[in-house]
Amino acid sequence: MSAWPPVYDPDYYPAQDEPYWNRAVETMDPQEREEKVILPKLRAQLEYCYAHSPFYQRKWDAAGVHPGDVKSLADFEGFPLVTKDEIRADQAAHPPFGSNVCVDPIRLGRVLGTSGTTGRPTAFGVSRDDMTRIANAHARVMWGMGIRREDIVFIGSFFSLYWGSWGALVGTERLGATAFPFGAGVPGQTERAIEWMQMVKPTVFYGTPSYSLYLAERARELGVDPLRDFNFRIMFFSGEPGAGVPSTKRRIEQTFGAICLDSGSTGEMSPWMSNGECAERRGMHFWQDLVYSELVDLKTNRRVPYGGEGVTVYTHLERDSQPMIRFLAGDISRWEIGTCACGRTYPTLPRGIYGRADDMFVVRGENVYPSAIEDELRAIPGFGDEYRIVITRERTMDELIVQAEPLPGLEAGEAARIQKTLADKLKAKGLRTVVQMLAPGSLARTEFKAKRIVDQRDLYDELAQG
């Protein structure tokens, strides 16, 4: 194979009418791509890690695996998984970036990180060369979404430690489109966004699904019609599963008159757009030659066959700083193989990422994914886009409560209709639920990832004991 890591020509652009950024790789027979493109990149990445990362030297020696033994992707499935806790512990022991930096600190170009709302934050030290490769990868996926150089890309998410915003920005810049890095999170910013969207008329939106719907709601309150007064033709999202939930997707498309595309793996795995939907909207593709992605059975740590359900495990193929090898992201999905209408031959996740191993909750012995409830709710006309799931325990029985807001200004009796429709639909799915309708505007709004699940069972237990 050619040199590793790959060097991309900064002046390269596909022809304007070319649907692919890299036609050869994107449309290659999947097996051929695994053998000729992915495996050579993987072997080079593994050799690099073993030579430069004390983290992987320790881990792989202990597991009795060695990069030189990997002759096939099946061999690679014998490599141990890396967990988020492991990375956090390694960074605590070797601050600030852990024993997996792999490059001289002088080559680090950017520090990003996780919010650390649930424990020690993870610090990302990203090399300049990695940033360039990430920009190229994101430009490729964004091209597949249909974004072109004429577009103005509004980035409506936090510009802080959050990888999402920066990933969208560098991809936009490499693609040669006009970046409009508006940000989010400052008081009054949503109102200013509404003003600027009418003034500049951006054609592409990036943010979280909940924020786009909140923005639409706020716009309507201000007498602005998102369909008439904004100019979006493509909206792409990450950070929440919503854009892959069919009824949420429909709701966003109807609200803005744009196509709604799902994307995103996780910050650790940047280029995080290696999970990215194409303009056909059949579910996210795993862009396998950018990041090698597996759906794994956690009992065996091996890939599940196409058609099956598994947990996401990701491996970098062209990172020289903090490479992740079989990183257990913990999202649940189902995958399929077969040529998409776009002509790409990557695996597809037809239902997106519909659960997280740690998001799923169990109520009276039933596994419940919040996205399943969201899907039913958003399909009901008159639902006002905000909801919350509360789980309590009355005596010994778990109680599942869904609190939902109707659209403002509905006729009397409409809220009761929504309430009954939802309760019936969930009952048909085997979920006994109490549905409560709240006044419009009573639930907290978010400019980032919505917090929609409140599990009060621990609290109840404490009260009972205390």
The CA-to-CA distance between both ends of the chain, in Å, stands at 65
Task: Give the residue with the Cβ less far from Zn ion, 30 or 40.
Answer: 30
Burial of 104 (0-12, 13-18, 19+ CB in 10 A): exposed
- Nearer to Zn ion by Cβ, of 303 and 344: the residue is 344
Q: For Zn ion, which is the closer residue by CB, 45 or 333?
A: 333
| 278 part of the interface to Zn ion, by CB under 5 A | yes
The residue type of 405 is E
| CB contact at 8 A, 303 and 295 | yes
Provide the residue count of the chain: 466
Q: How far apart are CA 426 and CA 293, in angstroms?
A: 33
Q: Least distance from C-beta 353 to Zn ion, angstroms? A: 17
- The three-state secondary structure class of 185 is coil
Shortest approach of Zn ion to residue 348 CB, angstroms? 7
Compute the least distance from the CB of residue 281 to Zn ion, in Å: 8
Binder of Zn ion out of 342, 373, 391, 404 (CB under 5 A): 342
Q: Which stretch binds Zn ion (CB under 5 A): 27-35, 202-210, 270-278, 292-300?
A: 270-278
SS3 75: helix
Q: Residue 459 CB, nearest distance to Zn ion (Å)?
A: 45
The least CB distance from residue 25 to Zn ion, in Å, is 14
| Closest distance of CB 437 from Zn ion, Å | 39
Task: Compare residues 346 and 354 and give the one whose CB is closer to Zn ion.
Answer: 346
Q: Which stretch binds Zn ion (CB under 5 A): 165-173, 332-340, 374-382, 441-449?
A: 332-340
Span of 4-12, 36-44, 45-53, 276-284 interacting with Zn ion by CB under 5 A:
276-284
Which residue number, 76 or 287, has a Cβ lying nearer to Zn ion? 287
Nearer to Zn ion, 156 or 347 (CB): 347
Residue 292: CB minimum distance to Zn ion, A: 18
Q: 3-state SS of 240-269?
A: CHHHHCHHHHHHHHHHHCCEEEEECCCHHH
Residue with tokens 């037809």: 350
DSSP string, 23-69: HHHHTS-HHHHIIIIIHHHHHHHHHHHHHH-HHHHHHHHHHT--GGG
- Distances in Å between the Cα of 42 and the Cα atoms of 167, 179, 367 are 23, 33, 36
Give the tokens for residue 156. 């409506």
CA 91/CA 123 separation, integer angstroms: 8
Instruction: Looking at residues 192 to 221 of the shown chain, list those that interact with Zn ion (rule: CB under 5 A).
Output: none
Tell me whether residue 176 or residue 338 sits nearer to Zn ion (CB atom).
Answer: 338
CB 216 within 8 A of CB 260: no
Number of residues that bind Zn ion (CB under 5 A): 5
Among 217-225, 274-282, 305-313, 423-431, the segment contacting Zn ion (CB under 5 A): 274-282
Residue with smaller CB distance to Zn ion, 344 or 449: 344
Helix, strand, coil share (%) of the chain residues, nearest 5: 35, 20, 40
CB of 342 to Zn ion, least distance (A): 3
User: Tokens for 214?
Assistant: 């909140």
Q: Which is nearer to Zn ion, 209 or 347 (CB)?
A: 347
| Residue 280 engages Zn ion in binding (rule: CB under 5 A) | yes
Nearer of residues 278 and 435 to Zn ion, judged by Cβ = 278
Least distance to Zn ion from the beta carbon of 237, Å? 17
Identify the bridge partners of residue 333 per DSSP, sorted by sequence position.
Answer: 310, 353
**Candidates 2-10, 254-262, 273-281, 319-327; binding stretch for Zn ion (CB under 5 A):** 273-281
Note if the bond before 271 is cis, omega within 30 degrees. yes
The residue among 290, 197, 187, 272 whose CA lies nearest residue 236 is 272
Binding residues (CB under 5 A) for Zn ion: these are: 278, 280, 340, 342, 344
